[in-house]
Structure 1
Amino acid sequence: METWTNFLLEINNKTAYLTVNRPEKLNALNRATLTELASILQQLQADEDVRGIILTGAGERAFVAGADIREFDGLSPEGAHELAAWGHREIMDVLYHFPKPVVAAINGFALGGGLELALACHLRIASVDAKMGLPEVSLGLIPGYGGTQRLPQLVGRGKALEMILTGDMVDAETALQWGLVNHVVPADELIPKCEELLNKMYSRSSTALMAAINTVNTGLRAPELGYPAEIEAFAHAFTTPDFKEGVRAFLEKRKPNF
């Protein structure tokens, strides 16, 4: 398997364990790291042995503590536009629309671009000592990798603006109450909880999971298109082998073999 400079990648039991491996920099997202991530996501999407991804950060301090601010120094407005547009197109939107479930295992600080990376995943599981925030306003910036759009979808406009306008961090329990994360667990249970959720999904139809992700995303992006997309996807499901197997298994009172 290909080795990466800024990531650890292990595939085991249908799951890709993808770890940002820059602990000395609190796993900050520089351009080289993001470029590798874009390539890895392409590889994992094409790999038929992979049915889901757990994304986390190396070390005990940080999931991803943000972008590498040194790369912002001297960047022109045109360069900043290109950086943000590229990050959306090649990474954040790819994750958000990924056809296989992606779970962010937030094991420490998830700040700025790091929280935006987690927001792009399908689910977020946090350890009890995790802290999350979008501190960009303290640099004279705003979030540039989807934070102003995806955070309100999870926590509502008021809470999102509180986080974005103050730049303050929230702890894991607050994030759970607000709907920012799905579960909070002790640190040693973080990866097992992600595995538990993914293994449950693996017992379901992969084509149905892909259709569900796509349909949910369609309705969030364009509400007037959500119901028609659901109807079309529901009807299309009747043409799939998984539907035939699922119905047959139900009628025969056995577990489906997806």
Structure 2
Amino acid sequence: MNNIDDVVRVQFGVDGVAEVVLTRPTKLNVVNLRMRDALIEAFAAVRDFPDLGALVLRAEGAHFSAGADISEFGNAESVFEARRIRWDRDPWYLLWSLPIPKVVALHGYALGSGLEMALLCDLRIAAYGTKVGLPETKLGMLPAAGGTRSITAWVPPSKAIPFIMAGEAIDAAAARDLGLIDEVLPEGVDVDDAAMAYARRLAALPRAAVRAALSASKAAHELPLREGLVAERRLAYLTGQFNYD
């Protein structure tokens, strides 16, 4: 177990499951620069840890995350300095590119950067009563922690674009119907336990095959069809699944 700057905790289990836990509950787990730096450190530790089977991303307190810490907005010396800091401290692509399945446990509010983190994971499980949304447009901003791109990995643009523009929060059932959430738990069921159970099932599978399947699935989304098929065949070859066609 490792606490990073008191805002993020990393744990590595003997079952091959890593946990990254947001630990700023008195501030609704909003993402400030300290937490961004801690998340970079945490995700890098997960990336570099040998032979992991899955990751669970979860949070302490009443809410997963209410988004970015807007109290820090405007504190940089200039717009250019703010942009430089944002690019230099970018945990989002690091999370997306982790080569293992990522299961996120959502509860309470998952807004702005909180929802964007979830969209960079591979499976989103929500507790009963969870609210999700991208409120940035109401604040005159853009959901720029990957939100405008990652959402279309799960939701067709015809539904994603109105959701982004409106900036409204919706409940877990509506989010599931939209495609933002994979599973909504019944009232009283612990979302952290459910996420961990799912991650352990994934970690018990042949890990090279699971990693290859994840990589091929991402290639299918990110690459043109022909290049995606080539990537899939290459990954099948690397896992010993030869194809002589």
TM-score (norm 2): 0.89
Task: Evaluate the alpha carbon distance shift between residue 65 and residue 140 of structure 1 in structure 2; reply closer, same or farther with a 3 A threshold.
Answer: same
Q: Counterpart of 2:117? A: 117
Task: Evaluate the alpha carbon distance shift between residue 187 and residue 97 of structure 1 in structure 2; reply closer, same or farther with a 3 A threshold.
Answer: farther
Q: Which residues of 2 match residues 31-110 of structure 1 at below 5 A?
A: 31-48=33-50, 50-60=52-62, 62-75=63-76, 76-87=78-89, 90-110=90-110
Task: Evaluate the alpha carbon distance shift between residue 178 and residue 91 of structure 1 in structure 2; reply closer, same or farther with a 3 A threshold.
Answer: same
Residue 74 of structure 1 and its aligned partner are, at CA, apart by: 4.2
Secondary structure of the 2:149 match is helix
Instruction: Give distance in 2, aligned partners of 1:159 and 1:54.
Output: 27
Q: Counterpart of 1:10? A: 11
Instruction: Give distance in 2, aligned partners of 1:77 and 1:169.
Output: 28
The aligned amino acid for 2:167 is G
Count of aligned residue pairs for this structure pair: 237
State whether structure 2 residue 162 is matched by structure 1 residue 162. Answer: yes
RCO higher in structure (CA 8 A, sep ≥6): 2
More helix by share: 1
Instruction: Give distance in 2, aligned partners of 1:187 and 1:114.
Output: 22
Q: Which residues of 2 match residues 197-208 of structure 1 at below 5 A?
A: 197-208=198-209
Percent identity at matched positions? Answer: 30
Larger mean Cα displacement after TM superposition, 190-199 or 163-172:
190-199
Larger Rg: 1
Larger mean Cα displacement after TM superposition, 206-215 or 40-49:
40-49
For residues 155-212 of structure 1, the C-alpha deviation after alignment (integer angstroms, 9 at most, x for no partner) is 2112212221110011100111111111111353312221222222122111111112
Instruction: Give distance in 2, aligned partners of 1:106 and 1:93.
Output: 20
Contact 2:111 2:133 in 1 (8 A): yes
Segments of structure 1 that go 5 or more residues without pairing to the other structure are 241-258
Instruction: Give distance in 1, aligned partners of 2:233 and 2:54.
Output: 26
Residue 81 of structure 1 and its aligned partner are, at CA, apart by: 2.6
State whether structure 2 residue 211 is matched by structure 1 residue 210. Answer: yes
Contact 2:129 2:171 in 1 (8 A): yes
Secondary structure of the 2:104 match is strand
Q: Counterpart of 1:251? A: none
Segments of 4+ in structure 1 off by > 3 A? none
Contact 1:128 1:187 in 2 (8 A): yes
Contact 2:172 2:184 in 1 (8 A): yes
Contact 1:16 1:50 in 2 (8 A): yes
The aligned amino acid for 1:43 is A
Instruction: Give distance in 2, aligned partners of 1:142 and 1:110.
Output: 16
Segments of structure 2 that go 5 or more residues without pairing to the other structure are none
Residue 150 of structure 1 and its aligned partner are, at CA, apart by: 1.1
Instruction: Give distance in 2, aligned partners of 1:145 and 1:212.
Output: 25
Cα RMSD (Å)? 1.9
TM-score (norm 1): 0.85
Q: Counterpart of 2:135? A: 135
Instruction: Give distance in 2, aligned partners of 1:83 and 1:144.
Output: 14
Instruction: Give distance in 2, aligned partners of 1:174 and 1:111.
Output: 15
